Structure 1
């Protein structure tokens, strides 16, 4: 199954013909090159001297003069040869002002005059295009080389794939990958990993899936890190069962990250029974859940308003020797704040302190948010002052702080303090202004 459309023959020719900067120069080169090759020779030099002259001209970037020398070789029987053309192109590529379109026209003229290109011809062009960064053209030449009965080397194809991935041309990377499979070349593991990761990151999950499946069909088995980006992309897009099917494929290797992706997907889709079954399978496989795995389970429970079960899981992960981190506690803290469970909130804050963890802005935002719902404005305000004094405040925390200021001291005082903060380098958001202006509008309406 094709992952994308392969460029057709004449791809480079169309590039040159449609790039405005090259159009006139290309036509001029086409006329001059044929003119020099067809016209009568005026030089009276031996073949070796003409070879030397041609090489010097080509290396210096004087292509037309190099072609004149090449044409002069026709006085010697059986000359010039395909090797002379190859030499001209090779020397021209050493020049700093080499003309890509002119060289390619030399190649076409060479064929029109009956000089069949050989492997060296194509390799010279390929290496030149690669070294000068003409990756699309380089790929087009590999296709033409193959149609002429020659096979580009694995080394060249690997370099081409690697460079294409580096510049971020994913469509071309997939085309090169497909072509390598047609040549029975298996890309390096690092290139495969980069290709799959990039495809997964931009949402081309189907293409990434097919790349990995093709490798399994070829009988190539890799570590789990190769397919984990696909699993995560599938699970984040609501295709957890497809991810599960991929994990069950023959040759697919699983690790804690693979199972965690599935657990995330099942939790996100509300498939609690499948989530528990996946956890059990993970244990039976000998793959121990880590902090990220348990945090995802706890978040899934909290999102479904199962706070008590989330607290039970927190205790379970501690019993199993898996230490919760601040993110784990913040997830539960937010859920407790939404449920207005003040006793549990302060109990959890105390536990965080006992663990030696330092609350971050998210912790303070979750805690203060719960207090505000209970109308504990002044308590929330004091906690925010403490957070700011410790330098533990982001824009979200400051927005809550300005909200509290409006409630405690009034909107004008909040606006004055905001102006002072801006002078100190604070960058407010729309929500910051909206919080204060909303209070100002309400006060104006009350006066009327």
Structure 2
């Protein structure tokens, strides 16, 4: 202090007044500080220690401090750093507090560059003065106040640096860091802070802990959420219902139902009162795994505890029952809901509607649809999409099309999913042009198609054999990201390969190269199909070898295309050799692979090979499907053994395999060939009751029967057949009305 007094008193009063005026101005303007302070330049002479002689070092230092702070507070990093460096001309300066002040004011400016902060920090570590606890606290508090993901990452870095250099972060600092990282969604960073707090024997606050568990559970980081909860339970922490239910749901959704059950029982013993969400989570978990006894047991436990199941609880079980094919049980549960005063909502009905349609139980679906209407539940786009999707899957394309057309004509809101299903129905009926016109009319009303919409139209034109039109539309559609996707190209390429259209293939491949698309496994399989179509099997094998060496790796679908074409071209021996290679080296043959060979050997009359393949299928754990049975039924019908074929059809049904319309048409044709009109009537009656519905091939068989004069020869039988077909059509018309 004496030195300070003597140095100040030695100056003239005029200089003191000027200095004091400058210091006051520095508090208001950085520019004033620059004008007032006469910074020495490179021409200024240094003393023996490399320092610049100044008349009043302290006043000069204060001026530099104020200038540096004002520069930093305004976000002028380079100027502030330059001013800080000028302090080195004064003995013992700058101090750690100068660096801390620099960082504090720079962070306050809100124009902070993280790289600049690291640069200043590295200067301290490399050349001194070394950072102290206040340095780290300043950095961390400033970074956390910025509340951004970028600042958060540097906060983690400086926290680690602080701990590594022997300074202990405070509880409040780490609590803020943990809270910010959870709120900003950096869950891995949150876990790092959480573990650091545990190492320092800090216990996170209850609110932050619940937030962390909830966020981890929502992000499906179930293992991490359970770890956090387990650690906190050991410390006497008791979760809120919100965080507890979130981890319970996460465990149940990730097939860890027994872990969830153990946690449920443990906390129940500790006194936690579970709510309907807790029980619903367990119901979801057990139903998801098909553990129906346990799921119903949880429902009973709810009732005993006085916790009433809600629509979410019941809808959860109904959804998984329908997925498991247990539609009757789902319907019973629907009745139970209503008896207990829990009204099903639209979601509940949509689930059952979709399941009924998928099982081709169309009449029941429409009855339920009318029940919904009576209850005042207005169908939403998902309702129509669910019913139409189910009808489509069941093969009832015409009914699905009329159903959606009725929906659209009412002026109801049509979403992308419903629109795409309707377009798919039209295209499957060979009405691609009509589908395109309908889409244009919807677009005029504000509908925005997606890639699926456009690809559906492209696929429709390709199915109609109009590949040129499809390629034209590819160029004219207004794609979402200004270009088609790989599905678009593969759709056209698939049909071009089936048609053997080499010119079209070249055009598509050129466009793909222009758009920078590489061939994937579907594109490559299309080329395999093209070479097979053109009987260029040597080129086909070369492409296959190239795929094996360079990618994309051939799948069993690729090999099945080759096997099928080899068999159709009479190269059964070559097909069987490739089949044996697949069995040895993979990919493993699937049911389709076996069906291709079984069908070919049946046509060849090689019963020994057929038996061997069936035995091999059984050893591989594969069951014959509709195509397998269809091959044998076709062979029996061809030999005139219709009764044996019908017996095999019955065995097929008993085995749980539903006969396809192809099998029924094979039987109908064989009966027609053998003059078994009454058997035709019985089979059509069975189809009318159990499905599938007769198609164009079935109608053609009946037309041939009529043209043969069977109406005159067997009037009663033909009247009965007409009655069966007529009743079915009448029911459809009533439903559509």
Is the Cα–Cα contact under 8 Å of residues 205 and 230 in structure 1 kept in the other structure? yes
Q: State the number of aligned residues.
A: 402
| Residue 291 of structure 1, CA deviation | 0.5
Give yes or no for the alignment of 1:394 onto 2:415: yes
Q: Do the aligned partners of residues 285 and 50 (structure 1) sit closer, same or farther apart at CA in structure 2, a change above 3 Å counting?
A: same
Q: Do the aligned partners of residues 406 and 108 (structure 1) sit closer, same or farther apart at CA in structure 2, a change above 3 Å counting?
A: closer
2:56 to 14, 30, 45: 45
Q: Do the aligned partners of residues 56 and 410 (structure 1) sit closer, same or farther apart at CA in structure 2, a change above 3 Å counting?
A: closer
Q: Which has the higher contact order (CA 8 A, sep 6+)?
A: 1
Q: In structure 2, what is the Cα distance between the partners aligned to 1:320 and 1:339?
A: 28
Q: In structure 1, what is the Cα distance between the partners aligned to 2:134 and 2:236?
A: 33
* Aligned residue in 2 for 1:120: 134
What SS is found at the alignment partner of 1:278? Answer: helix
Is the Cα–Cα contact under 8 Å of residues 55 and 87 in structure 1 kept in the other structure? no
Give yes or no for the alignment of 1:436 onto 2:436: no
Q: In structure 2, what is the Cα distance between the partners aligned to 1:436 and 1:55?
A: 76
* Aligned residue in 1 for 2:173: 156
What SS is found at the alignment partner of 2:325? Answer: coil
Q: In structure 2, what is the Cα distance between the partners aligned to 1:397 and 1:308?
A: 27
* Aligned residue in 1 for 2:593: none
Q: In structure 2, what is the Cα distance between the partners aligned to 1:198 and 1:39?
A: 58
Q: Deviations over 1:191-237 (max 9, x none)?
A: 44443344334442211211222221221112121133333332222
Q: Deviations over 1:257-312 (max 9, x none)?
A: 22222211211111112212222223333322110110011112212222221111
* Aligned residue in 2 for 1:130: 144
Is the Cα–Cα contact under 8 Å of residues 267 and 297 in structure 1 kept in the other structure? yes
2:357 to 334, 337, 348: 337
| Residue 106 of structure 1, CA deviation | 4.3
Q: Deviations over 1:398-423 (max 9, x none)?
A: 34433554577844433443344445
Is the Cα–Cα contact under 8 Å of residues 162 and 191 in structure 1 kept in the other structure? yes
- Write the mapping of 1:248-327 to structure 2, written as runs, cut at 5 A: 248-250=265-267, 254-327=274-347
| Residue 52 of structure 1, CA deviation | 4.3
* Aligned residue in 2 for 1:171: 188
1:90 to 89, 95, 104: 104
The runs of 5 or more residues in structure 1 that have no matched partner are: 1-37
RMSD: 3.5
The runs of 5 or more residues in structure 2 that have no matched partner are: 1-48, 73-79, 468-494, 500-737
Is the Cα–Cα contact under 8 Å of residues 51 and 91 in structure 2 kept in the other structure? no
| Residue 374 of structure 1, CA deviation | 7.5
2:256 to 217, 239, 257: 239
Q: Do the aligned partners of residues 366 and 125 (structure 1) sit closer, same or farther apart at CA in structure 2, a change above 3 Å counting?
A: closer
* Aligned residue in 1 for 2:449: 427
Q: Do the aligned partners of residues 277 and 60 (structure 1) sit closer, same or farther apart at CA in structure 2, a change above 3 Å counting?
A: same
Q: In structure 1, what is the Cα distance between the partners aligned to 2:153 and 2:288?
A: 41
Give yes or no for the alignment of 1:417 onto 2:428: no
Q: In structure 1, what is the Cα distance between the partners aligned to 2:430 and 2:132?
A: 85
Q: Do the aligned partners of residues 85 and 343 (structure 1) sit closer, same or farther apart at CA in structure 2, a change above 3 Å counting?
A: closer
2:86 to 56, 63, 68: 68
Q: In structure 2, what is the Cα distance between the partners aligned to 1:91 and 1:376?
A: 73
Q: In structure 1, what is the Cα distance between the partners aligned to 2:371 and 2:414?
A: 21
Q: In structure 2, what is the Cα distance between the partners aligned to 1:439 and 1:94?
A: 66
Q: Do the aligned partners of residues 97 and 176 (structure 1) sit closer, same or farther apart at CA in structure 2, a change above 3 Å counting?
A: closer
1:54 to 65, 70, 79: 65
TM-score normalised by the chain length of structure 2: 0.49
- Write the mapping of 1:29-44 to structure 2, written as runs, cut at 5 A: 39-44=50-55
Residues 38-47 or 152-161, more deviating: 38-47
Q: Do the aligned partners of residues 102 and 204 (structure 1) sit closer, same or farther apart at CA in structure 2, a change above 3 Å counting?
A: same
Q: Do the aligned partners of residues 177 and 202 (structure 1) sit closer, same or farther apart at CA in structure 2, a change above 3 Å counting?
A: same
Residues 324-333 or 420-429, more deviating: 420-429
Q: Do the aligned partners of residues 103 and 55 (structure 1) sit closer, same or farther apart at CA in structure 2, a change above 3 Å counting?
A: farther
| Residue 342 of structure 1, CA deviation | 3.9
* Aligned residue in 2 for 1:357: 377
* Aligned residue in 2 for 1:207: 224
Larger Rg belongs to: 2
TM-score normalised by the chain length of structure 1: 0.77
| Residue 242 of structure 1, CA deviation | 1.9
| Residue 321 of structure 1, CA deviation | 1.4
Give yes or no for the alignment of 1:145 onto 2:145: no
Q: In structure 1, what is the Cα distance between the partners aligned to 2:460 and 2:112?
A: 63
Q: Do the aligned partners of residues 177 and 48 (structure 1) sit closer, same or farther apart at CA in structure 2, a change above 3 Å counting?
A: farther
What SS is found at the alignment partner of 1:60? Answer: helix
Q: Do the aligned partners of residues 91 and 238 (structure 1) sit closer, same or farther apart at CA in structure 2, a change above 3 Å counting?
A: closer
Is the Cα–Cα contact under 8 Å of residues 51 and 69 in structure 1 kept in the other structure? no
Q: Do the aligned partners of residues 418 and 240 (structure 1) sit closer, same or farther apart at CA in structure 2, a change above 3 Å counting?
A: same
Q: Do the aligned partners of residues 369 and 108 (structure 1) sit closer, same or farther apart at CA in structure 2, a change above 3 Å counting?
A: closer
Is the Cα–Cα contact under 8 Å of residues 402 and 435 in structure 1 kept in the other structure? no
| Residue 183 of structure 1, CA deviation | 3.3
